[in-house]
Amino acid sequence: MVKIYQTIYEEVNTILESVSNIKEIIKHPTTKALDKYPAVIFFPTGVSNVFSTTADNFREYKFNMFVVVGLENTTTSHVFENVLSNTCDAILDAFDSNWKLNRIDNQPVWVRIESGDWGMNQGAKGLEAIAQFEIIIKMSVNL
């Protein structure tokens, strides 16, 4: 049996580790205080089946990804206009250039990232700026 989630987790983690801006990666929902910024939190949120034709069927594995930057000792403008935006650009570039999962279990695989809300939240250590993304891994399930 192929461990699809584990394979995806490893690939996403490898890509995020290649982004020098990121100082901490957490691979599950958490309420703990983040130790270093920018931090990225990612975890699966669901799977759906897409039936396009009787011959072409796909499964989409969805992950939420949050890029988090603390606002302590800096300005909101600096965080949103520089730190958060530059980190998000670097993450998107890393996925574009480093995605290696062309196949899982000998089935074609694609990845796309969609942006969600950007905003601020009260974290354990104070205000944090957050950018949300959804990572969607589309896999052919034609057998």
Residues 88 and 94 sit within 8 Å (Cβ to Cβ): no
pLDDT at 50 over 80: no
Q: Name residue 22's amino acid.
A: I
User: Could you give the CA distance from residue 99 to residue 137 in angstroms, rounded to a whole number?
Assistant: 11
Model-level pTM greater than 0.85? yes
Domains contained in the chain, CATH given: 4-140 (3.30.2000.30)
How much is the pLDDT for 21? Answer: 94
How much is the pLDDT for 143? Answer: 57
Residue in this structure with the two tokens 């011959």, named with its chain if needed: 55
The confidence band for 1, taking pLDDT boundaries of 50, 70 and 90, is low
- Give CA separation, 8 vs 49, 82, 118, in Å: 17, 29, 25
Write phi, then psi, for 13 (nearest 5 degrees): -60, -45
Least confident of 43-52, 64-73, 132-141: 43-52
